[in-house]
Amino acid sequence: MTQTETTSRARVAVLFCVVTAGLVGALIGIALTATAPVPGVAQVSEAVSVSIPIVRVLLDISAVATIGLALLSVLVGYDRPKLSEPIMRIARPANVAAALVWATTAVVALILQTAEYRPGSSTLSISDVGSYIADVGAGKALLIVAVLALLHAGLGILALKHGEKVPAEVRVGLGLFALLPLPVTGHASNWNYHDYTMISMELHVMSAVAWTGGLGAMTVLLIGNRTLLAHALPRFSKLATLCLILGAATGLFNGLIEISLNPSLGFWEGVFTTPYGQLVLLKLLCTSVIAGLGAYTRWKLMPRIIRHNRTALAAWATLELTVMGLAFGFAVVLTRAPVVPTT
């Protein structure tokens, strides 16, 4: 088997692990939050109810890939084009493809959430989708995300033609900006802390995506290039540490605020007996595992990578990305889970 075939299989394996873990996390969340039908109330079809979190997981993973592939240029730097350009010739078209998937999944999610909004309707029209966009904040958010993702794809196409004359920092900035509309349509319904929780959610999402995307891009594209990896990993390690601290703090803050300010629940009851609290605990467990894996990479593997020694980074990073995918699956359901016990 050639080196190219081995690298290609490794890339497919990483993507498979992340997507599968994300879907598994979403399905676990769906099982935890399932409720019995209420007699006399129009019910959303099970196909729509299950499809929404699945599509949202794919939306999140495509956003992670888009931003991570754009971030790769910043991590490898611009001072060694003979080394970095062969990698970027793979990363740039992949970035465009990921952005197009991001836009497509946003549109599909918009259609599915319109169907959820109209549970008694057997068909949907363009006017139904337009009404959902006009009346519901989540509809506006998904439309904005789709437009910004398409704009990102357009910048990516320009980068295919002009290389780094289209600054990677602009593409990363646009990608992070496109993450902002959706978090504000989730929880944070407590007006006492509304402004704080909105900012906290946005910081949480941006830190999680930058961390996961950067690690994924390096794992997929730099593992076979020890020189670039030795240059990029220390730079990423600083970013990952900041993202870990920010992501853990904001995630914990958001979850505890939602539970503690719910008047119908005691705090510990909300943490341990509600699907929302259980999903918060599962995300916290994932974060702890990811932190441990990241620490191992930082203190055990990175010194050897800097010396250009062979390591098992691919396996450890794939495991870390898999746990990240699981956390993304939990997060998708968490944004829709009621902070009350299921019946």
Q: What is the pLDDT of residues 66-93, one digit of tens each?
A: 999 999 999 998 888 888 999 999 999 9
For residue 192, what is the DSSP state?
G
DSSP 122-170: S---HHHHHHHHHH-HHHHHHHHHHHHHHHHHHHHHHHHHHGGGS-HHH
Q: Are 62 and 101 in contact (CB under 8 A)?
A: yes
Q: What is the pLDDT of residues 152-179, one digit of tens each?
A: 999 999 999 998 889 999 999 999 999 9
Q: Taking the model in full, what pTM does it have? A: 0.91
Give the span between the Cα atoms of 245 and 63, in whole angstroms: 21
Q: Are 200 and 250 in contact (CB under 8 A)?
A: yes
Q: Give the pLDDT of residue 130.
A: 94
The CA-based dihedral angle spanning residues 268, 269, 271, 274, taken in that order and rounded to the nearest 10 degrees: 180
Q: Are 233 and 302 in contact (CB under 8 A)?
A: yes
